[in-house]
Amino acid sequence: MLISLTLIASLLFSLEPEKIFQGKNLQQWVKELDADPEPSRMIVIISALGMFDAPAIAHLEKLAIHPDLEIRSKSISTLQQMGKVAVSSLAKLSANGPKGVRLLALTALAGMGPDAQAALPELCALTDHFDKDTKIRALAALGNLETTGYPALPWLINSFRSAERDIAEISLRSMGQVCGWKNNQPSGNLIEASIKLAPRMGEPGVMVLARLLKDMDAEVRTNAAKLLGEIGAKAIKAMPALQQALQDKDEKVVDAAFESIRKIKP
């Protein structure tokens, strides 16, 4: 009788040796943690948990909201060191944790650079947070995503318009990073220059332009509509946004949206 590949794979997986660190498996480290050891010993245990990858994440998440600052900090830095596998947990802590935890998690995500790309939705949402420190760290983390953070452009543009100088400055810096400008920032209208990059970005660029069809600035909306038309059939996913733009109060936006619809789906 032939054995299915799935069964073979499951058998091989079951034969993998259990991960051990300093003579203990994950369950043994967790058991020691549950015994409520001294803070200094908890720090050692947290470091050990970081060696067990994904199975240890839930325990580190719980420790990340511990009353003791050192334990919180160690837990979050351990999650950061675990890399991409822990990004969703850090994003969750950034979005839902109390301020101290939120800021530590955002700093951790910023330190991960492009590896934190999966946290982009939470980071974008936090650019509109009521707490200024949270806004600044979310904006910095978005910039550190480099060009993988280009989908955040609409949020960065909105923050760039802030009347608060420090918010505007960090937004500008992050715009430059996600646009890949580095030391070659263009002269002139930076918002317009950043939007013109969208056609080179593939589907993420299309979705950026689709979102910018709701921007507060009619000129930005018009330019976004025109660029979608230049992309042509590959901008089909922006069609619902373009159709909605036909109801725009600005005549130039309506005309640009109509022409782009014709080009995308003749």
Residue 248 placed within a domain: no
Look up the CATH number of the domain holding residue 51.
Answer: 1.25.10.10
Lowest-pLDDT choice from 11-15, 226-230, 256-260: 11-15
Q: Angle 13-17-18 (CA atoms, 0-180°, nearest 5)? A: 105
From residue 133, give the alpha-carbon distance in Å to each of 51, 102, 152, 161, 164: 31, 10, 19, 17, 12
Total number of domains in the chain: 1
Report how far residue 210's alpha carbon sits from residue 237's, in angstroms, rounded to the nearest whole number: 8
Task: Tell me: pLDDT of 189 over 80.
Answer: yes
At 53-94, the pLDDT tens digits run: 999 999 999 999 999 999 999 999 999 999 999 999 999 999
Residue 97 placed within a domain: yes
Q: What is the pLDDT of residue 13?
A: 52
Which residues sit opposite 21 in a β-bridge?
Answer: 24
Question: Taking the model in full, what pTM does it have?
Answer: 0.89
At 206-235, the pLDDT tens digits run: 999 999 999 999 999 999 999 999 999 999
Residue 239 placed within a domain: no
Provide the 3-class DSSP secondary structure of residue 24: strand
Q: What is the pLDDT of residue 1?
A: 46
Q: Angle 50-55-59 (CA atoms, 0-180°, nearest 5)? A: 65
Share the mean pLDDT of the chain.
93
pLDDT band at residue 18 under the 50/70/90 scheme? confident
Which residues sit opposite 24 in a β-bridge?
Answer: 21
Residue 221 placed within a domain: no
Give the range of the structural domain holding residue 85, as residue numbers without chain letter: 20-145
Residue 24 placed within a domain: yes
Place of tokens 């400008």: 181
Task: Tell me: pLDDT of 2 over 90.
Answer: no
